[in-house]
Every structure is written in structure tokens, then in C-alpha cells.
Amino acid sequence: MISVAMEPKQFPEYVQAVQDSGGQVVPLTSDVQALIWLDYSNPDGLEKMLDQNPQIEWVQLPFAGVDAFAEVIKRPIRFTSAKGAYREPVAEHALALSLAMMRVIPERVKANSWGRQFADSLYDSEVLIIGAGGITEELVKLLTPFRAQVTVLRNKKQPMPNASRTLLIEELDSALEKADLVIVACALTKQTQGLFNSAKFSKMKRSAYLVNIARGPIVNTEDLVQALNNEEIAGAAVDVTEPEPLPDGHPLWSAKNIIITPHTADTRAQVVRLFSERIRENVKAFGQDSGWVGEVDPNLGY
């Protein structure tokens, strides 16, 4: 029987997932070597727990992004995250936001008169996706019926299946100049913190749209507000913001051509179902010492 600790509290769905893989959830003692950590907002608590329990060999983290645990994951133990687990709902949300922006839905839902006849189409468009994880893999599939020319930017020159081309992140500026739609789907790291700023917006077409379903701090919020209000880009849709939650009255709420969703690309119900499956997979992998899913690379930071 595989013994797994779950902190800081136990959730029945996750306890069941452990049991489904032949494990049991137990209090954390000196004999327990596996830990499911569920509090993304408390990396210091995890660090303290690991200091007190040097026998722990594996930690399952709760979200796809592990930026909050940047220091913790440098420890010489195995960390797995939820990366790829939420790929389907997040990719679906990115597509919905993209279509809404290109069909000027923000303008139409506020209208009280017939207005202009305008729309951009995803069909045969140039789409640029930043990041090459599971969300991007899913997005490329969703974009296929639109005959979009999809360019993926990543850290290594390794082709993304079904994408039109794959470039290195260092080629971002030249790629921005051609894109009709830019989707941010990368991890938050030192390299991507503040990646989209006024300099990057100036490289984009004035007719281009930005969608961010990754992490808020990848986009400089003040620069985004300025780019929208000065019509440097055609519009933006974000599911994540900096700061988050976005305070009432923040200038981004009233910026031109903006859609803001409150980090709902994956809802609580979706997360519980999909993270339960990740727990099943990795508890089984812990027992077999193989088949790990979502393993974190401390050098890359995700």
C-alpha cells in the first residue's frame, strides 16, 4: 500500500483518487515519502514542511504553473505539477476569447444602436502562440479547421505537431510583426516576466489581437492599457491579470476593446475532476517509479 500525505487539508475527491491508484492518505510522519500539496498561495509552508521531513521523495503541486514555488523546486527531490491537466478547458477558453475579440463582441454587447458592420476572421489568419505545452498542443488542434497558419514560439527548436512553424522565443519580435492573433500560453519564469510591454505592442499590427490565458505578470498591465487606448493593437482578452484579482475601478476595466474573465478558463469543478486524474496517474507512477506525468524541470522553472 502506497502511503501519501495530503496538506494542508484533505479533499474527498483527491483522497478517492489516491485510493483508486492503490494508495492511502495518511498523516505526515517520518515514514511517509509522498506529499500532495494543495495550497498554491503558501510556498513557505511547503518549504518548512520539507525542512521538517527530509524523507519526502515526491511532491505533487496543484497547478500547471509553479512560479510560486520557484525556490522550492530547486531541492533534489521529484516535483510534479498539473501542467497539461487543464489543457482542454483552457484551450477552449482561449479559442472563445479569440473569436469574441475578432467578432468585436465587447463592442456589440454594450451597443444600443445598429452600429458598424465589422468582423475579423480566424480563417486563414496568422496565429502566434507563445509557449509549447499541453494548452498549445490542444489549441493547435482546435485551430486546424480554421486553416490558420500557426507559429509556436518555444525555448527549443523542436517542431510542434500540426503547427505551421516553430521558432525560438528570441524570434518573438519578428514573429509579432506578422501575427493577426497572439495567444500567450507560456509559463511564468524570469524570462517571460513582463515579456509583453510597450516595446512588444509596438511590434504588433494595429489590427492584431492579444489573448492571455497564462499568467498575469507576463503582460505589463499599464502598457496594455496604453496600447489599447491608443489603438496600437485592435483588442485584448485576458483571463489572468496583474494584479489579480483586478481591483474595481482599475484602468484595465475601462480600456478600449478589452474582455476580462476572472481566471475562469478552468473552473473549480473542472479542476477537481482533472487534477484527480493527475493524482491517480502519479500515485501509480510513485508505486512503479515510472510513468510520471507533469514532472517539473527546476532549470526551466516549469
Which tens digit of pLDDT belongs to each residue from 106-158? Answer: 889 889 999 999 999 999 999 999 999 999 999 999 999 999 999 999 999 89
Domain 87-260 is in which class? Answer: alpha beta
Reply yes or no on whether 263 is catalytic. yes
Strand partners, 24: 3
**For residue 184, what pLDDT is reported?**
98
Reply yes or no on whether 93 is catalytic. no
Average pLDDT, the chain: 96
The confidence band for 87, taking pLDDT boundaries of 50, 70 and 90, is very high
**For residue 110, what pLDDT is reported?**
87
Write down how long the chain is.
302
**What mean pLDDT is predicted for residues 76-99?**
97
Name the catalytic one among 75, 103, 250, 263.
263
**What mean pLDDT is predicted for residues 8-26?**
96
The residues, ordered by sequence, that sit 6+ positions from 142 with a Cβ below 8 Å of its Cβ are 91, 92, 95
Reply yes or no on whether 222 is catalytic. no
Name the catalytic one among 154, 215, 278, 280.
215
CA-closest candidate to residue 176, choices 194, 155, 203, 153: 203
- pTM here is 0.93
Given a cut of 90, whether residue 1 has pLDDT beyond it is no
Q: What percent of the chain has pLDDT over 90?
A: 96
**For residue 151, what pLDDT is reported?**
98
Name the catalytic one among 47, 107, 171, 244.
244
Q: What are phi and psi of 4, to 5 degrees?
A: -130, 130
pLDDT tens digits, residue range 175-233? 999 999 999 999 999 999 999 999 999 999 999 999 999 999 999 999 999 999 999 99
Distance from chain centroid for Cα 90: 8
**What mean pLDDT is predicted for residues 87-108?**
96
**What mean pLDDT is predicted for residues 241-270?**
96
The amino acid at residue 44 is D
The full set of domain ranges for the chain reads 2-85+267-288, 87-260
Name the DSSP class of 265: S
Q: How far, in Å, are 31, 34, 80, 161, 274 from residue 297 at the CA level?
A: 26, 18, 9, 22, 21
pLDDT tens digits, residue range 36-68? 999 999 999 999 999 999 999 999 999 999 999
Architecture of domain 2-85+267-288: 3-Layer(aba) Sandwich (3.40)
